[in-house]
Amino acid sequence: MMAGTVVIHAIGAAYWFDYLVFRAKHRALSNQSLHLSRGILSTAVVLLMLHIVEVLLWALVYVLLPGRAGLNNYLEAVYFSMVTLTTLGYGDITLSARWQLLAGMEAMVGVLVFGLTTAILFAVIQQSWKIRHHPHNVTTQSSDRNGK
């Protein structure tokens, strides 16, 4: 499940980043600059949706475990997963003793995917800035990487 969470996040982010680069290149070629706040906001929303999907999948795993890992229902599992993935860790709900290590693993992967989210947002801000202030350089660099 840890690897699955990272894969979901990485693939989702990569597809989104490719879409943004395509959109930005298209606008740069037509002498239009990428609107910074729109690209950043849409990226944040997409990454947030990826986090929600990951939380829902972890919650599903918890309720599918024998005895639901000590959780009463799916909603409680979603709450527990959200608190765990974000490393908030209220401690008001805990897993049964035999599954507690799994919560630690979810927290570790949460640190990783939120770090990845931060890096991706930074990259989008950086690319948006380059496209807005130096559109001719970004178009040339993109073409060079694709061998054109």
The maximal CA–CA distance of the chain, rounded, in angstroms, is: 60
Band the pLDDT of 139: cuts 50, 70, 90. very low
Tokens of 70: 């000590």
pTM for this predicted structure: 0.78
Mean pLDDT over 22-43 rounds to: 67
The CATH topology of domain 2-10+27-140 is Helix Hairpins (1.10.287)
Residue in 126, 127, 106, 122 with CA at minimum distance from that of residue 51: 106
- Residue 43's nearest CA partner among 134, 123, 110, 115 is 123
Higher pLDDT, 103 or 27: 103
pLDDT tens across 90-129, in order?
A: 999 999 999 999 999 999 999 999 999 999 999 888 877 7
> What pLDDT is attached to residue 135?
58
